[in-house]
Amino acid sequence: MNTQKSENTPGTAAGPWSPFRHRAFAFLWIATVVSNIGTWMHDVGAGWLMTELSPSPFVVALVQAATTLPVFLFAIFAGALADLMDRRKLLLAVNLVMAGLAAALSSLVYLQLVTPPILIAFTFMMGTCAALMAPAWQAIVPSLVDKSRLAPAIALNSMGINVSRAIGPALAGFLIVSAGLVAPFALNAISFVGILVVLFFWKPAKPEQIMPREKVFGAMRAGLRYVFNSPPVIATLVRAVAFFVFASAYWAMLPLIAREVLSGGPQLYGILLASVGAGAVIGAVVLPRIKARLGADKTVMAGTVGTASVLVAFALVQQPVVAVIASFIAGASWIAVLSSFNVSAQTALPDWVRARGLSVFLTLFFGAMSGGSILWGWVADQFSIETALLCAAAGAIVLMFATMRFALNQGADLDLAPSMHWPEPIIGEDVEHDRGPVMIRISYRIADTDRETFGDLMKAMRKARQRHGAYHWNLYQDSKQADLFTEVWSEGSWIEHLRHHKRVTGTDRVLQEQVNKLHQGEDKPLVQHLIAAR
């Protein structure tokens, strides 16, 4: 299962199934679907078990919150680990722990020792393991397929989650009725075997380690710094939060919709979740054509309107058949939105910070889901389930229009590969890696007619420098020579500046060339490196 060998042929279209031509992707996809079937069975069992242990909407919503809150708390730390560690070993270790937790919980359910606090605690621990894995799972996708197949690979991963959602909940509902509540928990524990075997035999190519490995908390700062100085990533995050806070109402309320609003049992709950999965699978198949016609932004708008319509249908039309149809629409809408956000985030991040950047996306995604679950559970407790659903539907539409100016896929046309266009800095003596801070000064001579253009370019340059570690960035004009400008910024240490050299991108190179063309001197702009004296 070596991922270095590309199976792409020139002229081959990147269709919705093309990533399966990469064996590593295909094996991991199948194993992940099997594992996710177990996870969905666990979720159905946990949600239904909690409705038996406690009828309170707020307590039932806490199960959903306990699943998503750990990602909000730990994803950024997990993203740093995924960028610094061997991702395969990380995924192996965490999946092994999750299998143990699932086995322990199934034993407690069998012995009828589970209480609401115990169920929430186990759900939180398994959610924590999922949080530690999530950035690594997402970050390995570009290493499994070539770039032309990245978007369909992401869509297939989302579809895989929803294939498992179509099978797992229906199977769980059947098992709860026929074999008892312990069955979905036990099968979830067994479902980890496949993913552990595939990860054990997968041998990805290891990137060459040129620089000393970053420390975890320094890597976390670097990831946050990149994300919050990247307009394409920021736009994606704003749109994602605006959607997920309100879409969370559906997931948080679904067990109660099945039991209280529709007066159904675990089989109906399983059927509703299966319908969501079926809608998502069909949505994933037709999504490339929809996005080709509508573009990412209009696709997300359509998915948001679909989600709001589903919330309204559940609140006003309390018929099981209508609920099943609405759930199908919810699944198609969900995958259209989630896949669009994921592609927008992936294309805006270079390889060195991919897991950390995606961890910020996941943090806000699950934070919005957790906060939304708690909010809508509280509203349902204070007023009614129907009121919570209608409020969420209205909020989703209002925020959709309020955030339209934050366009998606801004990073699609950026060249984020290392350009290596910065020459190695000339030093007069050996410099220790941890010595610093380091100040960099670049002097430009700019004609009066070019100053406005120069100023606009330097605003973009400031963001580019800050993404890679610059702080205290400023642009100065000489008081005697009005055409002389000096760009100044600092970096934490000599090794951080050397990392900047290795990470500067092709898009950064184009920006630097545009600035250099405005320079009036015969030589290139003068660059100086100043290191803090001992």
Task: Evaluate whether residue 433 is within a structural domain.
Answer: no
207 pLDDT tier (thresholds 50, 70, 90): low
Domain around 162: 20-204+214-402
Most confident listed range (153-167, 327-341, 346-360, 440-454): 440-454
Three-state helix/strand/coil letters over 294-354? HHHHHHHHHHHHHHHHHHHHHHHCCCHHHHHHHHHHHHHHHHHHHHHHHHHHHHCCCHHHH
What pLDDT was estimated at residue 165?
A: 65
Residue 104 has pLDDT above 60, yes or no: yes
Cβ contacts of 260-267, under 8 Å, gap ≥ 24: 260/385, 261/314, 261/318, 261/385, 261/386, 262/318, 262/319, 262/320, 262/323, 264/320, 265/173, 265/177, 266/44, 266/48, 266/172, 266/173, 266/176, 266/177, 267/173, 267/174, 267/176, 267/177
Q: Which CATH number goes with the domain that contains 389?
A: 1.20.1250.20
pLDDT in tens, 62-85: 776 777 778 778 888 888 888 777
Six token digits for residue 432: 């220790």
Contact between 176 and 266 under an 8 Å Cβ cutoff? The reply is: yes
Q: Is residue 411 part of a domain?
A: no
Tell me, yes or no, whether 489 lies in a domain: yes
Domain stops at, among 348, 377, 402: 402
First-to-last alpha carbon distance for the chain, in angstroms, is 51
CATH number, domain with residue 517: 3.30.70.100
pLDDT digits (tens, 9 = 90+) for 311-333: 999 888 888 889 899 999 998 89
Question: In this structure, are 165 and 231 located in the same domain?
Answer: yes
Residue-level pLDDT at 205: 66
pLDDT in tens, 253-282: 887 888 888 888 777 877 887 788 788 778
- Residue 107 lies inside a defined structural domain of this protein: yes
Q: How many structural domains are present in the chain? A: 2
Same structural domain, 230 and 325: yes
Q: Is residue 368 part of a domain?
A: yes
Greater model confidence, 450 or 60: 450
Domain identity same for 384 and 501: no
Tell me the pTM: 0.73
2 in a structural domain:
no
* Residues 377 and 467 occupy one common structural domain: no
Q: Are residues 365 and 244 in the same domain?
A: yes
338 with 265, same domain? yes
390/522 same-domain check: no
Residues 153 and 29 in one domain: yes
Cβ–Cβ < 8 Å for 143, 371: no
Same domain assignment for residues 199 and 256? yes
